[in-house]
Amino acid sequence: MKSPKEPNPVDKHVGSRVRMRRVLLGMSQERLGDALDLTFQQIQKYEKGSNRIGASRLNQIAKTLGVPVAFFFEGAPADAQFDAMAAVGFAEGEQASYTLDLMATPEGLQLAKAFMRIGDPKRRRMLIAMANTLADEETSKPS
């Protein structure tokens, strides 16, 4: 059982999606707070999931960040009532988790931004091949 001080997993997920989108746009917490008439400390609490974001505030954040409200729930932890749907193939699965983990890191955001600037599909495939080679070398190193 989770402690009363521990943030709800869905609140943490929504907050991390707010942070991811804000960072992708190159927006500071202070600037987002100004747009919402909030302090940057409140934005920090939202992004950590320690403060729950109400529906009208989430709608305001979505408009400010230029995404639909549903964006913040993509890949959210499944509730017990949805476990049956996940069992029959409605869950996004492991791929969504990798994407969220990657985009939650500064390096992942930098990599995604740089990748999107590469217009040539051949060069994109070269970058993917290089990343796979580096990852294979990492995993084959003796511990």
Residues 106 and 108: their CA atoms lie apart, in Å, by 5
pLDDT for position 87: 39
pTM for the full model? 0.62
Residues 123 and 126: their CA atoms lie apart, in Å, by 5
| % of the chain exceeding 70 in pLDDT | 78
Q: In terms of pLDDT, which residue wins out, 107 or 3?
A: 107
Looking at the predicted structure, is the pLDDT value of residue 141 above 60? yes
Instruction: Express each pLDDT in 44-61 by its tens digit.
Output: 999 999 999 999 999 999
Strands (E), 14-127: none
Q: Is the dihedral of CA 113, 114, 118, 123 positive or negative?
A: negative
Ramachandran quadrant class, 28 (left: phi over 0; alpha: psi -120 to 50; beta: rest): beta
Contact 104, 126 (CB under 8 A): no
Instruction: Express each pLDDT in 84-94 by its tens digit.
Output: 344 334 444 44
